Amino acid sequence: MSDGLYTIGEPARRTGLPVRTIRFWSDRGVLPPTGRSAGGYRLYDEAAVTRLGLVRMLRELGVGLEAVQEVLARRVTVAEVARLQLRTVDAELRALRARRAELPDSPSPEQVEAWVELAELISDEDFRRRLRRIALAGAGPLPAYELRSRVLAEAGPALASGMDPASEAGRRVLSLVAGPAVDRAALLEWMETVADERVERYWALLAALNGHQRSEPAVPAFTWVIAALRAHGTGS
């Protein structure tokens, strides 16, 4: 610390957030540094550390970065954002009820089992927050379905062959997945949210209830890409 300013490691230590997450939020303008050191390192004051706690709380509630900036700029209140999130949850519940109503009068045992498991998943608040983060954060310039297909097509074979994601070959595969137009820090944040077995199960259950063919599991390939992003960097 110098003159009441902290390098990025101190707010990371005090909040338990990864440095790369704070750096990503800083780059997005959500938490701009208070200043820079002589060596060019980001510096944050006590007020910035306090704001970081608010940003973390809002993100854990599934609030998108644009809405977080509106709160920090005092254009909307936390209460207004909370009401919006409640409406989002209500919409999710209405959608589930609608799906239940679409089931036949005499659903098959498999459909009943899928519905019960889906209801159990949705009843978990932590899982609902994860779904909201997926919906609000997006996957950068690529649609989520396109990114998923690209991960399976490029990272899937690399994973199956035993390729080390930290290797030079892994770097080349990562460039095929991400490409120059993708914000890799945003991609990492999104993938860490999606790469969850519960999310994969949620999508599989929806496919079963809607009579769609179950898609190939993507979590192992997502995990491989996450390791590649960590190994080869996501930008400064």
Tens of pLDDT, residues 138-189? 445 456 667 778 888 999 999 999 999 999 999 999 998 887 767 787 788 7
Residue 200 pLDDT > 60: yes
Residues 142 and 228 in one domain: yes
User: How many residues are recorded in the chain?
Assistant: 236
Q: Running DSSP on this structure, what letter comes out for residue 138?
A: -
Is 82 part of any domain?
Answer: no
Q: Running DSSP on this structure, what letter comes out for residue 5?
A: B
Could you give the 3-state DSSP secondary structure of residue 35? strand
Could you give the 3-state DSSP secondary structure of residue 6? strand
Is 211 part of any domain?
Answer: yes
The pLDDT of residue 71 is 79
Is 150 part of any domain?
Answer: yes
Contacts of 95 (CB under 8 A, 6+ apart): none
Is 156 part of any domain?
Answer: yes
Is 66 part of any domain?
Answer: no
Which domain, by its residues, includes 22? 6-60
Give the pLDDT band of residue 197 (cuts 50, 70, 90): confident
Instruction: Look up the CATH number of the domain holding residue 40.
Output: 1.10.1660.10
Tally of structural domains, the chain:
2
Is 123 part of any domain?
Answer: no
| 234, 177 contact by CB (below 8 A) | no
Residue 137 pLDDT > 60: no
Among residues 18, 37, 60, the one where a domain terminates is 60
Q: What integer best gives the mean pLDDT of the chain?
A: 78
| 228, 174 contact by CB (below 8 A) | yes
Q: Per mean pLDDT, which range of 92-101, 145-154, 196-205, 206-215 is the poorest? A: 92-101
Residue 61 in tokens: 């509630």
| 42, 33 contact by CB (below 8 A) | yes
Residue 136 pLDDT > 60: no
Among residues 19, 43, 60, the one where a domain terminates is 60
E strand or H helix that includes residue 100: helix 78-102
Residue among 50, 122, 40 nearest 88 (CA): 122
